[in-house]
Amino acid sequence: MSAPGITVIGAGIVGVAVASYLQRDGHAVTLVDRGPPGEFTSMGNAGILSPGSVVPVGMPGVLKKVPQWLTDPAAPLSVKWGYLPQAAPWLWRFIRSSRRNRVEEIADALRPLLGQTFDAYRTLTHAAGCTDLINQSGYIAVYETEAAFRSDALAWQLRRDRGVKVVELDAAQIREHDPDLAPIYVRGVLLPEQGYVANPLWLTRRLFDHFIASGGSYQQREVSGFELTDGRVASLSTTGGPLPVDRVVLAAGVFSARLAARLGTHVPLESQRGYHVHFPEPGISPRTPVMSGEFKFFTTPMADGLRNAGTVEIAGLDAPPTQARIDALVRHTKRMYPGARLDDMTTWMGHRPCTPDSLPVIGRSRQFGNVFFAFGHGHTGLCGGAPTGRLLADLVAGRPPGIDPAPYSPERF
Ligand SMILES: Cc1cc2nc3c(=O)[nH]c(=O)nc-3n(C[C@H](O)[C@H](O)[C@H](O)COP(=O)(O)OP(=O)(O)OC[C@H]3O[C@@H](n4cnc5c(N)ncnc54)[C@H](O)[C@@H]3O)c2cc1C
């Protein structure tokens, strides 16, 4: 006999991975999304799968960078002046989370979840017949100056302390690893256990297609609220009318906090807008992704071209994309790969769903026993998608989870 039904709001990589793991447990699962699966933030990311991604965005010393955030619209992190009053409470929490002892705790909490990235995806991609989309190739980070390399020392130490393999490279080793890179990099780091997805949208689509082929259902509707009875969510208010539910998982990315607030759970969630520029025929084929240590973007050799993605802009959900940031990414790509063909470029901006402590929100609602949360994965939602699916399925089943979910508690704020 199959288990009772579960409705997952949001068909980004997190919602699709959650739906897939719940389906594997025998639940009848319905995915609800206002748009096609995978076509919001989950489509345009850098594609990095990084089980060693334990470093929070807010690191010690972040306060000193505030003037640069506010004055340089092309800086690795910038905040739009006009949006500052709205972002201030979130930024204050973000700065408080960047204290050294808290950063160590956050790294401890990220490692067990993200450490399962490849293993948790393997289960899903094997079933869906798309293991070819996952590359465990490693990636390198490259620095133009010793000073920039030294300023990231704590980030590398946080990884090493948690068993992430980190191999330092000199200029000659960088050139040997990737001969197409400009000869401007003096220090590098190879992370051999990390990798990337050949195309993140294709991954979400393939998992979604398998979910449907295995009996899952999909409703294209926008969810605006909940009908509540006796401490439970009885139905979703949607553009297609009320949708009765038995159990619900909220996995609506950056829009989750608004919906969670209607259920009495208040999560500070801010969009950290990121950009990509994508070149379909670059004429080069790097062996692995490359991260710029100075500018904090990734250049990833995807199946359909070279993608340069990253940077952080805090400007809310409604402001139009900032051309200066796109121009900066193009400049950086030319600087990194002077021989690449940069014709027929496409550009994209997306909204990372970010908590101030860089930890996701995964767990059961305290107020409504039939509601679970799975959102707020920030910069690592692609890495965290499948591990979150696995953890959430454990929580729903009442099985002892493989990892301690306490650090991801929806009630921690
Ligand atoms: C430039 C950039 C680079 C990145 N690089 C990486 C990387 O290399 N590796 C990595 O791990 N992560 C990366 N990320 C982060 C990653 O992309 C996100 O964390 C992840 O995509 C979030 O997935 P999600 O499923 O939570 O949200 P989304 O993909 O945003 O999905 C949420 C879904 O919910 C739906 N939805 C929202 N509200 C409603 C509603 N009311 N009713 C119905 N449906 C609704 C939306 O339509 C959407 O489909 C990057 C992000 C950016 C912007």
Instruction: Please check whether residues 209 and 76 belong to one and the same domain.
Output: no
Instruction: Please check whether residues 63 and 97 belong to one and the same domain.
Output: yes
Instruction: Please check whether residues 12 and 150 belong to one and the same domain.
Output: no
In a domain, 48, yes or no: no
In a domain, 126, yes or no: no
Q: Ligand 1: does its nearest atom lie under 6 Å from the Cβ of 223?
A: yes
In a domain, 181, yes or no: yes
pTM for the model: 0.97
First to last CA, the chain: 39
In a domain, 109, yes or no: no
Tokens 């890179």 sit on residue: 181
Q: Ligand 1: does its nearest atom lie under 6 Å from the Cβ of 13?
A: yes
Instruction: Please check whether residues 76 and 184 belong to one and the same domain.
Output: yes
Instruction: Please check whether residues 274 and 229 belong to one and the same domain.
Output: no
Q: Which two tokens stand for residue 330?
A: 């193009």
Backbone angles phi and psi of 408, in degrees to 5: -100, 10
Instruction: Please check whether residues 249 and 327 belong to one and the same domain.
Output: no
* Rounded distance from Cα 137 to ligand 1 centre (Å): 24
Of 324, 330, 47, nearest in space to 201 by CA: 47
Instruction: Please check whether residues 264 and 276 belong to one and the same domain.
Output: no
In a domain, 116, yes or no: no
Residue where a domain terminates, one of 334, 354, 374? 354
In a domain, 121, yes or no: no
Instruction: Please check whether residues 178 and 233 belong to one and the same domain.
Output: no
Instruction: Please check whether residues 95 and 81 belong to one and the same domain.
Output: yes
Question: Which atom belonging to ligand 1 lies closest to the Cα atom of 238?
Answer: 42
Q: Which two tokens stand for residue 95?
A: 């700065």
By alpha-carbon position, which residue is closest to atom 18 of ligand 1?
Answer: 381
Q: How many Cβ atoms are within 10 Å of 334's Cβ, its own excluded?
A: 14
Q: Ligand 1: does its nearest atom lie under 6 Å from the Cβ of 207?
A: no
Residue where a domain terminates, one of 338, 354, 370? 354
Instruction: Please check whether residues 262 and 250 belong to one and the same domain.
Output: yes
CATH of the domain at 235: 3.50.50.60
Residue where a domain terminates, one of 331, 354, 377? 354
Domain count, the chain: 2
Instruction: Please check whether residues 146 and 254 belong to one and the same domain.
Output: no
In a domain, 239, yes or no: yes
* Rounded distance from Cα 175 to ligand 1 centre (Å): 34
Of 343, 256, 346, 338, nearest in space to 309 by CA: 346
Can you point out the beta strands (E) in 215-354? Answer: 217-220, 223-229, 232-238, 243-244, 247-250, 270-279, 290-292, 297-302, 305-314, 346-354
CATH of the domain at 335: 3.30.9.10
Q: Which domain holds residue 316?
A: 54-101+133-194+269-354
* Rounded distance from Cα 83 to ligand 1 centre (Å): 21
Instruction: Please check whether residues 247 and 285 belong to one and the same domain.
Output: no
- H/E stretch holding 54 reads none
Q: What is the pLDDT along the chain (413 residues), one digit of tens a residue?
A: 445 699 999 999 999 999 999 999 999 999 999 999 999 999 999 999 999 999 999 999 988 888 888 888 778 889 999 999 999 999 999 999 999 999 999 999 999 999 999 999 999 999 999 999 999 999 999 999 999 999 999 999 999 999 999 999 999 999 999 999 999 999 999 999 999 999 999 999 999 999 999 999 999 999 999 999 999 999 999 999 999 999 999 999 999 999 999 999 999 999 999 999 999 999 998 999 999 999 999 999 999 999 999 999 999 999 999 999 999 999 999 999 999 999 999 999 999 999 999 999 999 999 999 999 999 999 999 999 999 999 999 999 999 998 999 999 999 99
In a domain, 124, yes or no: no
Q: Ligand 1: does its nearest atom lie under 6 Å from the Cβ of 53?
A: no
Name the region of 173 (left: φ>0; alpha: ψ -120 to 50; beta: rest): alpha
